[in-house]
Structure 1
Amino acid sequence: MRAGPVPTRLSRVNCAADPRLLPLLASLREPAVRALASLLLGPSPWDSGVEFDRALLAGPRAAERLLALDRRPAVLLDWLAARRTGRLGAHAEALLAFWLAQRSAQLELVAANRAVRVEAHTLGEFDFLLRLDGRPLHVEMACKFYLEVAPQCWVGTDLRDALALKRAQLVRQLALAGDARAAATLPPGFAGCPAFTVLRGQLFRPAGSGEPVHWWRHQGEAWPARAADSRYLHLLRLDWLSPARAGRADVQTAAELQARLAGRREALMVAEMQAVGDDDWQEVSRGFVVPAHWPEPGRLATLMARIAALDGGEKE
């Protein structure tokens, strides 16, 4: 999934989280700052082959800067308020744009969300155009949460999206800077520039033996518990980006939360929480609770047909 030569300093990196992330999350309290830290340093749910290096993305003194922002988050909260959205992807892009707009000595944000239109047709969009030590780069960002419905077959809860389809879309997006039709929309020097991904999110397996950290179950089924005293928290969509942290008044037993969420027709995300201190509960696992008849066979068949019809794209 490469688009142009890769600069020497951006040699292949793995999908694992930066080791600074967990110690940071143990200290950060503001949800928006926790989400930002997870975007900068968190693991990738799958390997694109061109994942952007986390150390370069976060920049120098990242932990120190995030801790300072956690103490005084008003500038970040104001930034997000001016870009309020209910879409998780747009929220994630706003968080990353905030960080990149601060400008480090290495990394400069040149443009964000630059659409490429040919006549009345939208050819694609550049999520981020950056300069690393003066060299142009294109970065595509995606935050995706997929459920496994068959071995290595990962789909979205709405059955309109799938990992195979997203991979194929990324191949097209990463090649956009090399498309002659896009050249006129790019700043000088960006035509044909290297392209990379920032992938965040999770893959959820069906609950079973050896309970995964990320699981899914149907309404009415028991939820996994890593300890007898675990509590649970319902996560709203914009809270999905980082592990949850809450006070005792916010968490409930599984039975209490199941009763509260009973009858909901949409897929819901819940976090299993354990106490780590006085009035401090932190996430140890999370899962999707889906309607009893999910996935609906007809809609799943339509989605699988789209995957099967990929022309030269990657399949599950």
Structure 2
Amino acid sequence: MNYASDPIWWRLRKTIVRDLASLLTAPSPWLSSTELPVSTLLGDEGFRFLLSLDEEPNNLYLFLKQHGAYHTHLGVYAERLLYYWFLHAPHSRLIAHNLPVQDNQRTLGAFDFIVQLNNQIFHLELTCKYYGGLPEKTESFIGLNKADRLIDKMYKIEQQLALSTKPAAKSALKNLSLEPNQLQHASIIRGMLFKQPASQNLQVPLNPLCWQGQYIENWSEFEFQEHYRFHVLDHLSLISPVRVSSNAIVNFNQIKQIQQGMIALVQQHADGYWHEVERIMKTTKHS
């Protein structure tokens, strides 16, 4: 699935609002029985709220500035954006964020979010990951950091969602006037999967309908056309399809020097900006 072609990207212009929208609406890279439905996360008025944020984003910019320390870590940036959403979305009431669970002064973990959405109270865990591999081998999918493995993250999310079942969690929840059995547990899994162009479709438990890109170990594998233009993505520009100005565009001779990284293939639209149409994960050959 090419999530970059979703009509939502024709309406939203500000990068931080586009990133927030992607966290709310993007399909999960792998299938999970605990994934929170997009309709529950977005809410009935959510798209209108995103449009209003795109028109007046100053409060969101200020919030990110006040809750800093995200510039070096994509996961923290994503968490801050959802933190803002749960504080301000019309159907949401944030109960706790990053709530630690301790047992005899030993930290067992932390709840990413405890939030009421409409009339339901959720314990939510967020992850935002980018993996490339062979569609028929779930265990082959890894990140640019080869120690970052999809199967490990799948297991980690399950562990995080089970935190409220630990006896020590009862005390933390009691301080919020909650009992463990009041919580529903759900994941918010975002990111992309990358596969080689000629490979077969993704296999379960990977999500065949997730946002997908090209996985390339050698630039000779890439079917280049003369009119192609590109934008090199930094670590904080991965969450949503990019929309950039002409001075951020490079040609193929420039990007083929990249040994490892993320690159967006872009086309110019009527608004004068260059919009992502496909994404490439370039890595060195895995041993």
1:223 counterpart letter in structure 2: F
Distance 1:136-1:282 versus aligned 2 partners, 3 A rule: same
Cα deviation digits, residues 279-309 of structure 1 (max 9, x gap): 2221111111223xx42x3xxxxxxxxxxxx
**Which of 9, 17, 26 is the equivalent residue of 1:33?**
17
Counterparts of 2:220 and 2:67 in 1: how far apart (Å)? 38
Output aligned runs, 1:217-232, within 5 Å: 217-218=216-217, 220-221=219-220, 223-225=222-224, 228-232=226-230
Q: Determine whether 1:22 maps to 2:9.
A: no
**Which of 191, 207, 212 is the equivalent residue of 1:201?**
191
Output aligned runs, 1:1-316, within 5 Å: 22-84=6-68, 85=70, 86-104=72-90, 106-148=91-133, 151-152=137-138, 153-186=140-173, 187-192=176-181, 193-208=183-198, 213-218=212-217, 220-221=219-220, 223-225=222-224, 228-259=226-257, 261=258, 267-277=260-270, 279-291=272-284, 294-295=285-286, 297=287
C-alpha displacement of 1:23: 2.1
User: TM-score, normalization: structure 1?
Assistant: 0.78
Structure 2 match to 1:302: none
Cα deviation digits, residues 161-209 of structure 1 (max 9, x gap): 2111111111111111122111101122241322001110011113446
Q: Give the 3-state SS of the residue equivalent to 2:216 in structure 1.
A: strand
User: Considering only aligned residues, what root-mean-square deviation do their CA atoms show, in Å?
Assistant: 2.5
Distance 1:278-1:91 versus aligned 2 partners, 3 A rule: closer
Alpha-carbon contact 1:52-1:198 (below 8 Å) kept: yes
Counterparts of 1:94 and 1:63 in 2: how far apart (Å)? 19
Identity %: 29
Q: Give the 3-state SS of the residue equivalent to 1:127 in structure 2.
A: strand
Which one has more relative contact order, counting CA pairs under 8 Å at least 6 apart? 2
Alpha-carbon contact 1:213-1:284 (below 8 Å) kept: no
Counterparts of 1:223 and 1:83 in 2: how far apart (Å)? 40
Counterparts of 1:103 and 1:208 in 2: how far apart (Å)? 42
C-alpha displacement of 1:127: 0.6
2:239 counterpart letter in structure 1: L
Cα deviation digits, residues 99-155 of structure 1 (max 9, x gap): 110142x42110111121223432111111012344421011110111115733211
Cα deviation digits, residues 221-253 of structure 1 (max 9, x gap): 45345x642210001111100001112222121
Q: Return 5+ residue gaps in structure 1 as ranges.
A: 1-14, 298-316
Pick which of 109-118 and 215-224 moved more: 215-224
C-alpha displacement of 1:156: 2.0
Counterparts of 1:210 and 1:177 in 2: how far apart (Å)? 39
Q: Give the 3-state SS of the residue equivalent to 2:269 in structure 1.
A: strand
